[in-house]
Amino acid sequence: MLFLVLGKGKTGSLVAEVARARGHSVRAFDIAENPHATALTAPNLAGVDVVIDFTTPDAALENMRAVLALGGHIVVGTTGWYGQLDEMKALAAKRSGGLLYGTNFSIGVQKLFRLTASLAELEGYKFSIEETHHTSKLDAPSGTALTLKQIIQGVRPEAEVLITAHRVGDAKGEHVVTASSEHDEIVLRHDAHSRRGFALGAVRGAEWLAGKAGSWEFRDIFEQM
């Protein structure tokens, strides 16, 4: 397959590396090469099976609009834009494009999501989330932390879930879910040792998305890959 990676930062560069290692052809644009999605034209997307976005929230929205308007396929690992999610889903449906999005493409984090949903079923507990990322991460709290909160409140709508965000050095990503009662405490923790897990999940997601029309969240389809 031919993938177009948007973003040449640490994660985007690793996505390109992983895709090549899995036998795919890869092109890449950084934000300077694709201002306001101006490089995402029909000629430039000809032959591209899937676009993979790891840019910024504003750039990701412009990129999605451009790709989906042409009926293309895009995997979005960027977070901080979900206020426009319904708009992007509608565009994908109108143009028969493909959209796969997720707050975290790590398979380990997908398991954390499932365990958190189970933990939230416990009676008599208060829940909190703590997350730590690198200092250049633009959104705080992280999209993953917000997903964890959404999962807990999906089981317990009445729950108040405190999120504490830290930005430290080059931290790869740590999420801790704590359930506390007067009797005991239960802690779930996922600590990323590198960004490779995110990159591999995004590439496998792109392999899965190729040729499909519709919109999916990564946590709903990761077991199909």
Spatial neighbors of 117 by CB under 8 A, at least 6 apart, are 151, 152, 154, 155
Instruction: Kindly state the average pLDDT of the residues 6-16.
Output: 93
| 8 Å CB contact between 63 and 87 | no
* Rounded distance between C-alpha atoms, residue 3 and residue 142, angstroms: 26
- Position 154 scores a pLDDT of 97
- Position 160 scores a pLDDT of 94
Q: What digits encode the pLDDT tens for the residues 148-162?
A: 999 999 999 999 999
Q: 186-193: long-range contacts (C-beta < 8 A, 24 or more apart)?
A: 186/119, 186/122, 186/125, 188/112, 188/115, 188/116, 188/119, 190/106, 190/108, 190/109, 190/112, 192/106, 192/108
- Position 139 scores a pLDDT of 79
Task: Say yes or no: 125 and 213 in one domain.
Answer: no
Beta bridge partners of 128: 162, 178
Task: Say yes or no: 159 and 215 in one domain.
Answer: no
pTM greater than the 0.75 cutoff: yes
* pLDDT tier, 79 (very low <50, low <70, confident <90, very high otherwise): confident
- Position 80 scores a pLDDT of 86
Task: Say yes or no: 204 and 186 in one domain.
Answer: no
Task: Say yes or no: 99 and 11 in one domain.
Answer: yes
**Percent of the chain scored above 90 by pLDDT?**
88
Task: Say yes or no: 129 and 206 in one domain.
Answer: no
Instruction: Kindly state the average pLDDT of the residues 31-48.
Output: 96
* Rounded distance between C-alpha atoms, residue 97 and residue 94, angstroms: 8
Q: How many residues does the chain have?
A: 225
**Percent of the chain scored above 70 by pLDDT?**
100
Task: Say yes or no: 122 and 74 in one domain.
Answer: no
Beta bridge partners of 191: 174
- Position 171 scores a pLDDT of 86
Strands 73-76, 174-180: pairing is unpaired
Is the pLDDT at 138 greater than 80, yes or no? no
Q: At 135, which CATH number?
A: 3.30.360.10
Mark whether 133 is an active-site residue: yes
Q: What digits encode the pLDDT tens for the residues 174-225?
A: 999 999 999 999 999 999 888 899 999 999 999 999 999 999 999 999 999 8
Task: Say yes or no: 47 and 158 in one domain.
Answer: no
Is the pLDDT at 43 greater than 80, yes or no? yes
Is the pLDDT at 81 greater than 90, yes or no? yes
Q: State how many domains the chain has.
A: 2
Task: Say yes or no: 184 and 95 in one domain.
Answer: no
* Rounded distance between C-alpha atoms, residue 19 and residue 13, angstroms: 10
* Rounded distance between C-alpha atoms, residue 50 and residue 203, angstroms: 10
Mark whether 24 is an active-site residue: no
Q: At 18, which CATH number?
A: 3.40.50.720
pLDDT averaged over every residue in the chain: 95
Task: Say yes or no: 182 and 201 in one domain.
Answer: no
Helix (H, G, I), strand (E, B) or coil at 162: strand
Task: Say yes or no: 169 and 211 in one domain.
Answer: no
Give the domain extent around 158. Answer: 107-191
Catalytic one among 8, 73, 133, 190? 133
> Pick from 93, 81, 83, 85: which is nearest to 56 by CA?
81
Task: Say yes or no: 141 and 185 in one domain.
Answer: yes
Burial class (CB in 10 A: 0-12, 13-18, 19+), 185: exposed
